[in-house]
A = this chain, B = another copy of it.
Amino acid sequence: MTERVPIVENILSANDRLAQENRACIDEAGVFSINLMASPGAGKTSLIEQTLSRLKDKLRIAVVDGDIATSIDADRASAAGARASNQVNTGGECHLDAVMLHGALAQLNLRQFDLLIVENVGNLICPAEFRLGTHTSILIASVPEGDDKPYPGMYRGVGALVINKIDLLPYVPFKMDYFQRGVEALNPGVLTFPLSCRTGEGLEAWIHWLLGNVKRAACLF
């Protein structure tokens, strides 16, 4: 479908300009921001819940949830202690884009927050093409998805990789070494956080990393 390319390129370029505006707003407010991406069911909402339960008394956290139709995830984030939980209904679109995040940010007073978590639509392909303006993108892979799925476009662009559901390692044919070597080839030096949102194992390292980044973002302005 090569005839689509020029149209898509124009959309992406407009998107990138707005992503820069989003970043400027976020930086001025001294907020650290992440864009969480994953397949459906890999554990985006669970990771947000576990993060909130550990940090809600230390940090003021806002969550922006992208979903094609429902508000189930935003409701879960509110219940878990997010100070603000904003639902972006993408109207069927398979990803968030900078326009949608811009609209969501306009409804938040960013200066009242320390950490902004954007939960992208459950999709391991399309969200990689649309920058939002967050400081970094986090990909959540999950052990039962298998160890042979490093989709290059998605893995290359992320700042850190969460490997969720390590409690299932005894029950599925997932070789952690093999998976991590594949990831390293695509994104050399990328941080990885093997953990289980279900048992809590491995979450300390993730929380420690988040806290460090939140402190740095607050110091910059």
Which residues of B lie under 8 Å from residue A122 when comparing CB positions? 39, 124-125, 149, 151
Q: How far is the CB of A13 from chain B (nearest CB, A)?
A: 14
Complex contact A125–B68 (CB within 8 A): yes
For the A-B complex with A69-B151, A126-B126, A167-B171 known, give 6 more contacts whose Cβ atoms are closer than 8 Å. Answer: A4-B11, A41-B144, A94-B123, A121-B125, A123-B125, A171-B171
Which residues of B lie under 8 Å from residue A167 when comparing CB positions? 171
Complex contact A145–B40 (CB within 8 A): yes
Interface bin, chain A: 35 or more
User: Does A93 touch B at the CB level, under 8 Å?
Assistant: yes
Which A residues between 135 and 168 are near B, CB-CB below 8 angstroms? 142, 144-146, 148-149, 151-153, 165, 167-168
User: Does A72 touch B at the CB level, under 8 Å?
Assistant: yes
Complex contact B144–A97 (CB within 8 A): no
User: Does A212 touch B at the CB level, under 8 Å?
Assistant: no
Beta-carbon nearest neighbor of A72 in chain B = B148
